[in-house]
Amino acid sequence: MNILDSVGSPADVKKLDRGQLDELASRIRERIVSVVLTNGGHLSSNLGAVEIVIAMHRVFDCPKDKFIFDVGHQCYAHKLLTGRNRDFDTLRKRGGISGFPQREESVYDCADTGHASTSISLLCGLSRVCPDSKVVALIGDGALTGGLAYEGLNDLVSLGGNAIVIINDNGMSISRNVGLVPGVLDGLKRDPKHAKSSLGALGLDYIYVDRGHDIGALCSALRRAGKAARPCIVHVSTVKGKGYGPAEEDSERYHGYSHSALAEPTLSDVFGAALSKLADRNDDVYAVTAAMKGGTGLAEFAKKHPDRFFDVGIAEAHAVCMSSGLALGGKKPYVAIYSTFLQRAYDQIVHDVCINDLPVTFCADRAGVVSGDGPTHQGVYDISFLRELPNIAILCPKDAEELEAAIEWSVSFGHPLEIRYPKGGVPAAYDRHTPVTVGKWDFDPDEVLLADKIVLACGAQSCAEAASAVDSLRKKGEKVAFVNARFAKPLDTELLDLIDDRFVLTVEDGVVDGGFGEAVRNYYARRDSDIFPKVKVIGYADGLYPMGEVAEIQKYCKTDRTAIVRALDDEA
């Protein structure tokens, strides 16, 4: 019998002998590799943390003791040891096991997490109100490059002995760690006695585990940490991707593994190539990212223009504020950050970029809905939280060719700008491409003048669905116009004024509240006119959206082609 199949709860881990624990680790790795290579997910980060998680469950008593997984992408072994092995084949699928901790999924998950550097702050709160529980935060895998982690560490010294921070030190984020922090960690490892003495003067205990895949050594360290009278840091040296050769050799590629290879270049690739070509001709073009060089498509730029490329680690707020400094110095910075992580830098976008009206361009990858990762990674909020800010424009290219054109145009735009596009590739909505001009949409004027209904689609995913819906209705003889409303801000008010009292349907790759459709409605409500079109809005409602493939999420949320056709038919 596979030993993993005999483990239904953490209590079963405590019953195993030492040799069985090593076998359990091997079986957990086999299970993770098999499922992730089929479903996609976080592979190398989880493989490197297997023994740490086994030791946590061996020593402590979860769920009485609270386990917090920073970022959340190191939790697969935890899920397998807490009764979810049988359903693990459904990982990241609609209605299945989440790739991140989720409280509604299991009592063993004490916090829903999916973004970096939050665990120590969560620990500080939980440890204060759960004095009879050990609160254990597993951080590392790059999360110590985020500023919030240090805000938590600053507060950690005021806690009691129930607070334990495990640093999984594998030298990596998604890409290799950069900056001061890796050097500090290396220094601690070179002289752990000095580290223990130095941190002791600050009110912290420190334990270093050199053999981070030795379950016995880990258990011994965690037992010592559990007996400490003050907060304890357990520093563990591990290998990212441990036990699976390809992931050990290329842990960045296998960090977030996708089982499907796209034949066409992704929009991330298109962006990266376009920006690199722009930098070939313009020495003022700089690129900045937050530990996402590969994911944002900037590997080529970094190789060709290393003196103008900056990876600041998982530190989005710093990336934006630093880019403001570049712009103040006369440069043209492009900040490539996933939509869901851009919200982590909101104050800097407001205070340092928009108020100063600086020409910083935010290249928001993974905009719209994304497959697999669930609610913590949906890129549907940025239009709403940026549209209200001064000076910024929001450009949503419909396809690869328009994204390339947007990058070319953006270099001459002297104000804050967001260019947003989804993960992967999208089918072209149609072949027409007009020059990018701020606040001007792409449409056929005659088509709009003759139409009974006008569809305003904002975003690549929405354009693809809306164009297909409009095409099907035209074949039935209906007079429906399609407009690529590529600027969510500013609006093309000249076009809006032409629509008079006809029916308008807006479709967007974002939330309805505060979004593009609401902006259209508000424009008509404030306009000095007695003629108002009827405006209906399709987008993502207030709430969380299910895990699944993009098409499944669109169908569930009624933002797909079928929902668009139905909305237009309702006005027939």
Residue with tokens 């992967």: 424
Query: CA–CA separation, 188 vs 182, rounded Å?
Result: 10
3-state secondary structure labels for all residues of 219-283: HHHHHHHHHCCCCEEEEEECCCCCCCHHHHHCCCCCCEECCCCCCCCCHHHHHHHHHHHHHHHCC
Question: How far apart, in Å, are the Cα atoms of 113 and each of 120, 173, 281?
Answer: 12, 17, 42
Query: CA–CA separation, 258 vs 546, rounded Å?
Result: 19
Catalytic residue of the set 66, 134, 344, 398: 344
Catalytic residue of the set 27, 242, 293, 316: 316
Query: CA–CA separation, 496 vs 500, rounded Å?
Result: 8
Strands 66-69 and 503-511: unpaired
- Tell me the residue type at 159: L
Asked if residue 177 lies in contact with residue 183, where contact means CB atoms within 8 angstroms, the answer is: no
The vertex-411 CA angle with 409 and 413, nearest 5°, equals 80
Q: Is 316 labeled as catalytic in the residue annotation?
A: yes
Residue with tokens 């440069």: 331
- Quote the tokens at residue 370: 């994304």
Q: Is 344 labeled as catalytic in the residue annotation?
A: yes
Q: Is 103 labeled as catalytic in the residue annotation?
A: no
3-state secondary structure labels for all residues of 324-363: HHHHHCCCEEEEEEEHHHHHHHHHHHHHHHHCCCCCCEEE
- Quote the tokens at residue 309: 């490329």
Catalytic residue of the set 27, 58, 134, 240: 240
Asked if residue 422 lies in contact with residue 368, where contact means CB atoms within 8 angstroms, the answer is: yes
Query: CA–CA separation, 345 vs 337, rounded Å?
Result: 10
Residue 159 backbone phi and psi in degrees, to 5: -95, 180
Q: How many CB atoms lie within 10 A of CB 55?
A: 28
Number of residues that make up the chain: 572
- Quote the tokens at residue 273: 């190539």
Strands 332-338 and 361-365: parallel
Query: CA–CA separation, 72 vs 80, rounded Å?
Result: 14
Kindly state the helix (H) or strand (E) to which residue 457 belongs, with its residue range. strand 453-458
Query: CA–CA separation, 410 vs 9, rounded Å?
Result: 54
Report, as residue numbers or ranges, the catalytic residues.
Answer: 240, 316, 344
